[in-house]
Amino acid sequence: MPKSEKAIVRLCGVSKTYGATKALTDVDFACFGGEIHAILGENGAGKSTLMKLVSGVIQPTAGCIEIDGSETQLAGPAAAISRGLICMFQELSLVPDLTVRENLMLGAPGTSLGRLDGNIVARAQDILAKIDGAEIRMKTRVYDLSLAERQQVEIAKALSRNPRLLILDEATSALNASVVQKVFHLIRAERDRGVGVLFISHRFHEIEALADSISIFRNGTHVETFDNGAYDYGAIISKMVGQRIDDLFPPKREPDPNAAEVLSLDGFGWEDTLHDVSIVLRKGQITGLGGLDGQGQGDVLQGLFGLLKGTRGQCIMGGEPVSIRHPKMAKSPALSIALIPEDRKTEGLILDQSIARNLELAALGMNTIDATDPAIYQPFLDALELKCDSLDQPVSQLSGGNQQKVALTKWLALGPRCMLLADPTRGIDVKTKTQIYALLRRLADSGVAILLLSTDYEELIHLCDETHIFYNGRITRQLAGANITAENIIAASLNIPSKEPATRGSVHA
């Protein structure tokens, strides 16, 4: 079905302010049925605010929203859902303590507080089966699902509600490439039967593959809408950022294979989920951990930071085996390890506290540095260009990218010898990504050993000197130098033997 004549949702001169902060300013925007409409913009550009307005989570400060041509007040998500505006949120809308089945029924159209509708579960199960989610059992609590499984359930939940407009906010960030393809297939099918799709993603190749039209947002304003393909990659980025970014990644150096060992794992293992992992972290090197979500990479980082009990094998630092029993020990000057955890909102930061308080938390109580001295944080804040009104501002008011800058700086101030990073750029805009990449490279050059877990294989290719690919709790392949290619990473992630020696293939995605 071609793009509909009339807009399903149209925003007319909409603004949204939070106190003094302008999230959206005078935005005119429309989305139509039968069209996949991608929204691009840096963090803080207003994409999520836009999505929340359309899905009834928040109400505009000024301007109006028209649905099917008539002005409508969306009092809450329930009002939006009843009109067929179904959103899959970046912050997952699944209730952790309920089972998958219960979550699918919760708030289904026409249910509200009344009798539950079991039919919707069967519909959602069909959808799950199409996106490799047939294994997810209906009676499992959502709490026990992996992030990827939760996203699959979210997608099924949204699609089972007969959307007229489907809103996907970073809907596939934790899914691997093959599942993403299947999800896209479903989304295209929805479009072809006349559903409108609003799509936010930070992965360019996804947007290129999927979108019919693209809208760019910058600083809370709608910059431009155009058909997919009208501009090339570079032009789109410069529209988003307002300036041109030539190189996402800093140039790689030739790694020194004889650089001093900072830390090495020998036959490291834990419970049933991690077996026989041996990794050497060298001074000045960035070592990557790749693979599908939840194959044990995360456990390596947690084990090194003293979060796991009963690990097997050895961890050697400075020639001596060490046993790291808790984070306080890991950060002590003797070991000097830092971890940037995966979930910055619940693990990396205390959202309700100010930037200054957050920065000080890791350094407090260390004899070697004065946590209250602002000078120890400033160089890193400058390098990362933290944007904030004042350091007394609560971290919760910052955009995701700026929050991650705070989470990084808090540990960088300790001057760690070894940095562990768990997917530090997930859901972060391009500009912040380049800043983080440049900083990581600079840190490595200054002698820090970096262990980077990433779900974005471009990072493994362009940033890492060496990469270990995990599958089912084991390292299936170790790639270095020219061997770190997209093909090799994907093949190893799926545990398919790849051609040896690997040829350098096209890596752009």
Partner 1 sequence: MKTTSPRVPSLDILVPYFGSVLLIVGGSFFFPQILGFAYLAQQLQIASFLGLLALGATLVILLGHIDLSVPWVLGGAAILSTSLAGSGDPALIALAIPAALIFGALVGVINGFGVAVLRIPSMVWTLAINAMLLGVAVLNTGGFNPKGEASTTMIWLATAKLAGIPVAFAVWMVFTLAMAVLLKKSGFGRYLSAIGYNEKATFLSGVSTPSVIFAAFAIAGVCSAMGGVLLAGYANQAYQSMGDPFLLPTIAAVVIGGTSILGGRGSLVGTVGGVLFITLLTSILSVMQISDAWRNIIFGVIIIAMLLLQTLRRKAA
Partner 2 sequence: MRDFLRSNKREASAFVVLAGLLSLYLWSHPIGPTTYVMTIWANQCLILALAAMAQFFAVIVRGIDLSVGAVMALTNCIASYMVIGSGIEMAFGVVVVIAAGIGCGLLNGLLVVYGRIQPIVATLATASLFVGLALLLRPTPGGQIDYDLADAMTLDVLGMPTALIMTAAIILLIWVPLRRTGLGLGLYAVGSSEQAAFQSGMPVAKIKLASFAMGGFFAGLAGLYFSFVTTTGDAGIGPNFTLNSIAAVVLGGVALRGGIGTLTGAIAGAFILKTIGALMFFSGLPPLAQPFIEGLILAGAIAIGGADILRIKNRLEAFGR
Residues contributing to the site for partner 2 (CB under 8 A): 55, 57, 76-78, 80-82, 87, 89, 91-99, 102-103, 105-107, 111-116, 137, 139-141, 270-271, 302, 306-310, 326, 346-347
Q: State in angstroms the smallest separation of the CB of 106 from partner 2.
A: 5
Q: State in angstroms the smallest separation of the CB of 183 from partner 2.
A: 20
Instruction: For residues 99 and 251, give the distance between their C-alpha atoms in angstroms, rounded to a whole number.
Output: 47
Q: State in angstroms the smallest separation of the CB of 364 from partner 1.
A: 4
- The secondary structure of residue 374, as a DSSP letter, is G
Nearer to partner 2, 150 or 191 (CB): 150
Q: State in angstroms the smallest separation of the CB of 105 from partner 2.
A: 7
Instruction: For residues 493 and 231, give the distance between their C-alpha atoms in angstroms, rounded to a whole number.
Output: 33
Q: State in angstroms the smallest separation of the CB of 484 from partner 2.
A: 30
Nearer to partner 2, 26 or 102 (CB): 102
What does 375 interact with, of partner 2, partner 1, none (CB < 5 to 8 A by kind)? partner 1
Instruction: Fill in the amino acid letter for 336.
Output: S
Pairing of strands 418-422, 449-453: parallel
What does 115 interact with, of partner 1, partner 2, none (CB < 5 to 8 A by kind)? partner 2
Nearer to partner 1, 294 or 327 (CB): 327
Instruction: For residues 415 and 368, give the distance between their C-alpha atoms in angstroms, rounded to a whole number.
Output: 10
Nearer to partner 2, 42 or 170 (CB): 170
What does 113 interact with, of partner 2, partner 1, none (CB < 5 to 8 A by kind)? partner 2
The token pair that represents 240 in the structure block: 């988003």
Instruction: For residues 356 and 124, give the distance between their C-alpha atoms in angstroms, rounded to a whole number.
Output: 45
Q: State in angstroms the smallest separation of the CB of 453 from partner 1.
A: 15
What does 392 interact with, of partner 2, partner 1, none (CB < 5 to 8 A by kind)? partner 1
Nearer to partner 2, 167 or 469 (CB): 167
Nearer to partner 1, 2 or 333 (CB): 333
Q: State in angstroms the smallest separation of the CB of 348 from partner 1.
A: 6
What does 349 interact with, of partner 1, partner 2, none (CB < 5 to 8 A by kind)? partner 1
Give buried/exposed letters for 165-184 (b at 16+ CB in 10 A, else e).
Answer: bbbbbbbbbbbbbebbebbb
Residues that bind partner 1 (CB under 8 A): 305, 326-328, 330-331, 339, 341, 346-354, 356-357, 360-362, 364-365, 371, 374-375, 377-378, 381, 390-392, 410
Q: State in angstroms the smallest separation of the CB of 20 from partner 1.
A: 13
Nearer to partner 1, 190 or 423 (CB): 423
What does 177 interact with, of partner 1, partner 2, none (CB < 5 to 8 A by kind)? none
- Torsion angles phi and psi, residue 424, rounded to 5: -70, -10
Nearer to partner 1, 126 or 392 (CB): 392
Nearer to partner 2, 157 or 433 (CB): 157
What does 438 interact with, of partner 1, partner 2, none (CB < 5 to 8 A by kind)? none
Instruction: Fill in the amino acid letter for 259.
Output: A
Q: Collapsing DSSP states into helix, strand and coil, what is residue 509? A: coil
Q: At which residue do the structure tokens 């990659």 appear?
A: 233
What does 193 interact with, of partner 1, partner 2, none (CB < 5 to 8 A by kind)? none
What does 141 interact with, of partner 1, partner 2, none (CB < 5 to 8 A by kind)? partner 2
Nearer to partner 2, 104 or 383 (CB): 104
What does 93 interact with, of partner 1, partner 2, none (CB < 5 to 8 A by kind)? partner 2
Nearer to partner 2, 77 or 220 (CB): 77
The token pair that represents 212 in the structure block: 């019919």
Element (H, E) at 189: helix 177-192
Contact 248, 433 (CB under 8 A): yes
CA geometry: angle at 154 spanning 151 and 160, to 5°? 140
Sign of CA dihedral 438, 206, 215, 68: negative
Q: At which residue do the structure tokens 């890193």 appear?
A: 380
Instruction: For residues 77 and 56, give the distance between their C-alpha atoms in angstroms, rounded to a whole number.
Output: 5
Instruction: For residues 102 and 116, give the distance between their C-alpha atoms in angstroms, rounded to a whole number.
Output: 9
Instruction: For residues 327 and 330, give the distance between their C-alpha atoms in angstroms, rounded to a whole number.
Output: 5
Instruction: For residues 507 and 489, give the distance between their C-alpha atoms in angstroms, rounded to a whole number.
Output: 11
CA geometry: angle at 260 spanning 259 and 261, to 5°? 115
Burial (Cβ within 10 Å: 0-12, 13-18, ≥19) of residue 240: buried
Q: State in angstroms the smallest separation of the CB of 137 from partner 2.
A: 7
Q: State in angstroms the smallest separation of the CB of 221 from partner 2.
A: 26
Contact 121, 104 (CB under 8 A): yes
What does 410 interact with, of partner 1, partner 2, none (CB < 5 to 8 A by kind)? partner 1
Burial (Cβ within 10 Å: 0-12, 13-18, ≥19) of residue 160: buried
